[in-house]
Chain A
Amino acid sequence: MSETNGAGAAPASFDAFKPVAREAPAPGEESIFSTGSWPAVPPATLPPAPPEPPARPRRLRRAARAVVLLVTAVALVAVTIGVQVWDRSVWVGARYPAEVVTDVPRLQGAPLHGMTWRADLSVRPRALGDDPGVTSVVATVEVTPASAEQIAGYLTPDFEMRDRTGRRWQALPSGTLTQLDLRAGMTSRLTVVATVPNAVRDTAELVLAYSPREMLRFAR
């Protein structure tokens, strides 16, 4: 059976020319494009809008954000300054290295620069005209080269007297010991003289140094 759309249904009678009874819209409601009024459509049921957040949590959130920003800013500044301080301390540390001092027990020897060093300190008796507040300390320093190669590289080290509070006093060799004076395995002597305050004449120690990292401190 062939069927076309609507072919089987009895067509409703429709007279396009028959006027339809319509209610006139209320004045002002009708659009100029409106062809007539339509039955009112009930409004769609919209989901209820979320309630406005109360004012207090919003302020709290803002305050929290401000605190986080502040802490971040402070941390950034601290890191910036810290990096510069660290960089400077590395620079200073590389050029002014911390001292490495080897303590030598009393009347014992210690190796440094291929030599064995030993020192014996004594207080010089007071002479007429000496400053009453100071004392001369004389150190006999013995140096024994390990080999001829070490003698070739020998240089007179620096000497000074120190106490354990960080005070230092000049100590000068009274003579000169050159490479020609040294023999491998044989002990040569050098006299070092220093002036120190009376208060430390028995406690100040002789320090022998080639560099800040090569130092010997002879215990009294």
Chain B
Amino acid sequence: MLRRLARSLINAVVALVVIAAAVYAHTFTMDQDDLDAPLSTRAAAGSAAATGRFSARLGKVVAASSLRLLTTTTEPVSGRVMILGTTRVGTPDVFVVTTVSATSSGAPTRLADAWLRTADGVEYAATDRVGPEFTLADRPVQDGWWVDVVFVFEVPREALPGSSVVVTAPSSNGIYDEIYPGRYDQLLPEAVLAVAPDDAAAKRILDDVKSSWQLVAKE
């Protein structure tokens, strides 16, 4: 009798422990930051970072203290290139002009959003002082060939050591991101392309800061 009672008691305790463990297991959920965290693929300078939706590699990196923005057109008859306008943009810091080559796997995508991420995690968005007609950053990246897009960052010089260009594809959740902001995990792919992996690389870039760098838009 006593043994049966003890056994029932043990069973009840075990069941309670299992239920408590199951309830506790539900606390192991990702918070909003984890849910929003992208899936990063890293690549050294010159090599391609292949994410699920696109591949990207960093090409030329130039630092400049000012930019010359040229708008040109080509005469249909003579084929001569004519300059329609020039704008000069300066900065007390430095412009980092990066050329990123990209291709997609499957569907066309646009890599319009890019950041320069410093070694300590500070992110600088690509400057809006240079329009997409000069950078072609909004051109579609498609399967089968590589296209070059330019991202220009206006950053302090000390941001360069250990920095990377981060390129990401837009969300494919459509209108649901706006209807339920923060509700759905994104798992967006991002390519992290090293600009200046160490102090020496940063020094090489900063030792060669151009007084002016030209970007051309063709009409």
Contacts and interface: CB of A to CB of B under 8 A. Distances in A.
A95 B176 contact: yes
Contacts of A200: 144
Interface stretch (A113-121, A182-190, A191-199): A191-199
Contacts of B107: 167-168
B144 to A, nearest CB: 3
Contacts of B143: 167-169, 197
11 contacts: A133-B144, A160-B108, A167-B107, A168-B106, A168-B107, A168-B108, A169-B108, A170-B108, A170-B140, A195-B142, A197-B145
A101 interface: no
Contacts of A133: 144-145
Nearest to B140: A170
B108 A134 contact: no
Contacts of A196: 144
A131 interface: yes
Contacts of B140: 170
A166 interface: yes
Interface string A127-140: 00001011000000
Nearest to A165: B106
A160 B106 CA distance: 12
B106 A167 contact: yes
B144 A197 contact: yes
A95 B183 CA distance: 14
Main secondary structure of the interface of B (DSSP, over half): loop
Chain B interface bracket (under 10, 10 to 19, 20 to 34, 35 or more) = under 10
A169 B176 CA distance: 24
Nearest to A166: B106
A169 B145 contact: no
Interface residues of A, number: 15
A95 B173 CA distance: 9
Contact of A199 (B108, B144, B176): B144
A195 B144 CA distance: 10
Contacts of A199: 144
Nearest to A160: B108
Contacts of B106: 166-168
Given A95-B176, A166-B106, A131 B142 contact: no
A82 to B, nearest CB: 16
Contacts of B144: 133-134, 167, 169, 196-197, 199-200
A220 to B, nearest CB: 17
Contacts of A167: 106-107, 143-144
Given A167-B143, A167-B144, A169-B143, 9 more contacts: A134-B144, A134-B145, A160-B108, A167-B107, A168-B106, A169-B108, A170-B108, A195-B142, A196-B144
Contacts of A197: 143-145
A169 B108 CA distance: 6
Nearest to B18: A73
User: Interface centre among B106, B143, B176, by most A CB within 10 Å?
Assistant: B143
A198 B180 CA distance: 42
A87 to B, nearest CB: 15
Contacts of B145: 131, 133-134, 197
A170 B176 contact: no
The 4 closest A-B pairs by CB, nearest first: A197-B144, A170-B108, A167-B143, A168-B107
Interface in A170-220: 170, 195-197, 199-200
Interface in A33-79: none
A195 B143 CA distance: 10
A123 to B, nearest CB: 15
Nearest to B145: A133
Contacts of B176: 95
